[in-house]
Each structure stands twice: as C-alpha cells, then as structure tokens.
Amino acid sequence: MRKLLFIGVCGLLFGSQVKAQFSLSGELRPRTEYSHGYSTLAAEDQDPSLFTSQRTRLNFDYKMDLLKVAVVLQDVRMWGNQAQQVANEEKATSIHQAWAEMNLSKSLALKVGRQELNYDDQRILGNVGWAQQGRSHDVALFKYAKKLNIHFGIAHHETGNRKNNLYEGPDAYKDLQFLWLNRKTDNFNFSVLFLNNGKPVMEGTEQKSKYSQTFGTHVEVPVDKVAFTGHLYFQTGEDGANKSLNAYNLMAEATYKVSEKSQFLLGYEILSGTDYNQTEENKSFAPLYGTNHKFNGFMDYFFVGNHQNNVGLSDAYLKFATSKNKTAFNADVHFFSSAAKISDTADNYLGTELDLTLTQTINPVTKIALGYSQMFGSESLEILKGGSKGAFNNWAYVMISVTPKFL
C-alpha cells in the first residue's frame, strides 16, 4: 500500500511537469568582516572589530502557464548572538518573499505579496542584495508587457489595531505608489519612473501622511565598445518636518571595453544637499529604497542608513573590472565632495576611497569573495562624521556564497 501511495504521489508531482515546474534551491552566505572606520571615521584610540554574519535562504518556486508562485524563507544572524541551546522563540525564520503572479491576459499580470522591487540600476528601488537581510515590500504590482513595459505598484501599511488608522512602523512609508515605463531595443534602454511616497507624521493626536514625489529617467545607450548610462531624478513635495522638498540626483557613466573580459568605467554622480545655514527648504536628495551600497563606495559612508537630509554628495569615480577563467578582480576609486556648504570655512572635499574586490568561483554553486577598502578622509569628513581622518580607516571582508539547487 505504501509503495502504491509513493508511486501515486510521484506520478502527481512529475507526471504534470509538462505544464508545471517546481524548483527548490538555497543560499548559505557567511561573511566575516574586519572594521576600523566602516560607515564612519574611527576614533584615534578605537580598536578594530571582527564579526561574522550569515544569510540562509530556502527558495520555493512554482511555475505554470498562467501562474507563478515564490516563497523565500530567510534566517539572518550574527555568529554568537544566539545561544547554543535555544528554543528559537525569538530567533524565528522570516519570510523574505511570498508572492503569486497571475496572468490576467496575454499582456497583463498581477503580482501580489511580499516581493523584491528591482528597477533599472536600483538607485531608487532595489533589493539591497549586499545586506544579509535584503529588502522586500508588501505590494500589489500590475505588469503590462509589450513593446512598452508598464509596471504600476501600490502599497498601504497598517498595524494590527482595527480601532484606528495609525501606522507606527517599522517601515519608512505608510503609502506608496509607483509607475515605471520602459522601452528596450538593441540600441537603447529607456525608462521613466514616478514614485509617490507617503510618510506617517504625528501632528498632535492625529496622524497625517507627508507625501514626496520622485520622478525621472534612466537611459542606457551602447555604442560599439563604449556604453553610456545615466539617470536624472527630481524630488518635490514635503519631508517629515513639513519643509518643502526640492532636490535632484544626476548620474552619468561611460564604460569602455578593453576586451571581452576587461573594462574601464568613468562616472560622476551628484545628489543635491542642503547648505548648513538653510532652514526653510530641504534640498537634500534621498535615494529612498535603492541598493545604495553599490553606488558611493563599499564602505557605506553615504546614504546607507546615514547622510540623510545632509549636505548631499558629489562623487567622481573610476572603476576597472577584469576576469580570467574563474577569477574576477575589481578596483574602484571614488573622490567625494559635499554638494552643499558644510560651513563658512570648511572645504567641500570629503575624501578618497579605494575599493578592491577579488572573486573566485570554486564550483558552479560556490564562490569566495575577498574585499578590502580604505578611506582617506578629510577634515570636512571629520566635521560631518566625527572620528579622526588619521585613524587609518579601513575595512575588509571574506564571504562564501553557496547556492545549491536541490530540485
């Protein structure tokens, strides 16, 4: 009887594979980091830190003609933060993604649930893949796909209290709507993004949403061995302090292919800021929900949980990437300045950062990455961040990424 039952279950699972597919995969990513000046300048007498964090994921994917479903279970922890003998009440596995995408017609689909949002270069909306926990949203997403791709997303957050309409976090927005238009050909990739962001603010006993609007365009144009990439975004509306918002973000890059496996990238980005003595208007651009780690240096001095509503940033950078067989090497250098005045006497130059990365593929599902970064800060960076520019501010890591496919 058991054999017949087993054969029947196998027939149900594998006999229908012509129309449906199920896959089960995982990810184990421990990363050990050495830090002496990561994110902010170290003090002269500060000791370096050494710690290991780990991401563990289990990915369930189901696909058929009219439906896609994905569930991603995730556990993120710091080695040593959990006792060896634990009942796991407070360290439970979380849901990173849990969504279903239904085809409403040949061109229109609806994707609902907890999901990652990745658009263009991920400056405004990205999954923050470097962070062990990543980022995902509870959102309903309408997707129209033809020559012009159109995505419309809407999210509304509440607490579990049905007696009021208050939202007290933990996310930064209570309401979010965005519209993304994209046209891609062999000669160009052009996108337009409109995003309406509603942040909850208490005014006395009443909660109100302060809305800001981010809108702009992203462009990619390949020309022979050179590829040009750029984006331009504006922000308007109100911030959480009832100040009018008037900010912008401009980025331009040119990538030159030396060979099939080597290239140089020259770029410049500016995120507008607010002068130290400006009190009536907020001119500081906020990249909101993007993958900010990939943009302004790997040491995360700017816009990674910090540097908000500040003097902005001007970043001129040069990057080199090459690979051979199973080894890849990257070298980046950033020259940072403030986009607005720090003070009457302070210089705008903030510092120079050097980022080196070496990645080795061990086998099809295993990679080891090594990284080293050095920040050469200035006195102006000391004013903004504190700490000491002479404290030898550096950061290094080793990360193992294992991504097995079980089914």
Find out whether 95 and 259 touch, Cβ atoms under 8 Å: no
pLDDT at 302: 96
Largest CA distance in the chain: 86
Instruction: Tell me how far apart the alpha carbons of residues 372 and 119 are, in angstroms, rounded to a whole number.
Output: 28
pLDDT at 91: 62
pTM of whole model > 0.85?
yes
User: Domain residues of the chain, as ranges?
Assistant: 22-402
Find out whether 31 and 49 touch, Cβ atoms under 8 Å: no
What are the residue ranges in the chain where pLDDT is below 70?
1-18, 88-91
The HSE-up count of residue 78 (CA atoms within 13 Å, CB side) is 5
pLDDT at 10: 52
Instruction: Tell me how far apart the alpha carbons of residues 375 and 297 are, in angstroms, rounded to a whole number.
Output: 9
pLDDT at 164: 78
pLDDT tens per residue across span 339-371: 999 999 999 999 999 999 999 999 999 999 999
pLDDT tens per residue across span 40-52: 999 999 999 999 9
Find out whether 234 and 221 touch, Cβ atoms under 8 Å: no
Instruction: Tell me how far apart the alpha carbons of residues 138 and 157 are, in angstroms, rounded to a whole number.
Output: 8
Beta strands in 88-205 (DSSP E): 94-103, 108-115, 137-144, 148-156, 175-184, 189-203
In CATH, the number for domain 22-402 is: 2.40.160.100
Q: Give CA separation, 314 vs 112, 272, 284, 354, 392, in Å.
A: 38, 8, 12, 16, 23
DSSP-based three-state secondary structure for 293: helix
